[in-house]
Structure 1
């Protein structure tokens, strides 16, 4: 068991599932709230090894009263790209959602994106569950996400340690739209964030006078 756990932690570290939680001040979290005008939706991200197909990281974007990402033990926000509390990332505008997805795709991993439209009430329950879960220990990304989804879909989703298995369960929940992102950057995915300038993105979004 100890050998299995250490191996899982090593794999998780490569894929971004072994990071320290960033805890932002409450006022910063509140100020960052972003409401997306699309339908209420759950988006499951599964990071898959290009060689073996094994799952390496799981996260969940939720579009409800605001749009957030539950990124359990994730490494994306180590440089404090967005406000975060208890492994929930806030201020998930379209540019942030895009860079988040691309951050996890590289020459050794691709990202499976599964989108499921839900009721606004279901989306808000998901946000509340993610916020209540709190910070997640290393290598428990799939476990924590599946516990949240099992609470929303009792009998249809069972808690699991395996990202790929959770992806398979999520696919049975309804009309799930699936896409996959492949990119071929090096495993040092910090360059994705280094090249991303949020101030430049914000300026580009302002119409010219």
Structure 2
């Protein structure tokens, strides 16, 4: 209950507008948390979608290659075990992926969103090319999340047709036309997720901690 009250009071505009930052975690912090998944290499588009009107609130990429990262352009997510470097989040274990999704999937007055996850299996080489593109992209300005994702995808083999523009929904519609795409959705209190136990405010930001 406390979690929901804090979110309702502190995040009225974060998802709709997408945040912005220029964080740069140290090499030591990034190396310490690197996670390599045993699952098939893949590129997943994560889209935060409004429950009321179906509007797109945010776009991000989950990339599973030589390590698993989240490219969170102009995102507001923070976690002490997911160091960030220019919109790239490291240390994305399955649990941290779920914490990230749970952070965005919520059903509160004025904050009603679910998360769509669309995944395309790729080779390790393609996944690593996507990771490099995300790392080389640099920090993305506020409200340019879909633009940032499109820029990264557009430089990756097999994804060059990514549409430009500011619409997470348009980007998702295109992504779902790709061969072998698999889609799922996550809503608030989804039992598949590791739900955040505490959100605390620090200098105007929100930090999520898992249980």
The offset of 1:184, in angstroms, is 6.3
CA contact (8 A) 2:133 2:152 kept: yes
Give RMSD over aligned pairs: 2.4
Structure number having the greater helix percentage: 1
**Structure 1 residue aligned with 2:61:** 60
2:149 is matched with which residue: 145, 149, 163? 145
Q: CA deviation at 1:11?
A: 8.6
Q: Distance between the aligned counterparts of 1:43 and 1:167, measured in 2?
A: 10
Match of 2:84 in 1: 84
For structure 2, the 5+ residue unaligned runs are 1-10, 200-207
In the TM superposition, 1:38-187 aligns within 5 A as 38-77=39-78, 79-107=79-107, 108-152=112-156, 153=158, 156-183=161-188
| Cα deviation, residue 39, structure 1 | 0.6
CA distance in 2, matches of 1:21, 1:182: 29
TM (normalized to structure 2)?
Answer: 0.80
Separation (CA, whole Å) in 2 of partners of 1:155 and 1:42: 13
Q: Secondary structure of the residue that 1:28 maps to in structure 2?
A: helix
Q: Which residue of 1 aligns with 2:18?
A: 17
Checking the alignment, whether the CA contact within 8 Å between 2:153 and 2:160 is kept in structure 1 is no
Counterpart CA distance in 1 for 2:75 and 2:168 is 14
- Cα deviation code 1:21-75 (max 9, x no counterpart): 4321111112211100001001110000111101010000100010000001111
TM-fit CA distance, 1:96: 0.3
User: TM-score under structure 1 normalisation?
Assistant: 0.80
CA distance in 2, matches of 1:180, 1:112: 4
Does the CA-based 8 Å contact 2:74-2:141 persist in structure 1?
yes
CA distance in 2 between counterparts of 1:98 and 1:125 reads 24
Distance, in Å, in 1 between the alignment partners of 2:41 and 2:159 is: 20
Distance 1:63 1:81 in 2: 18
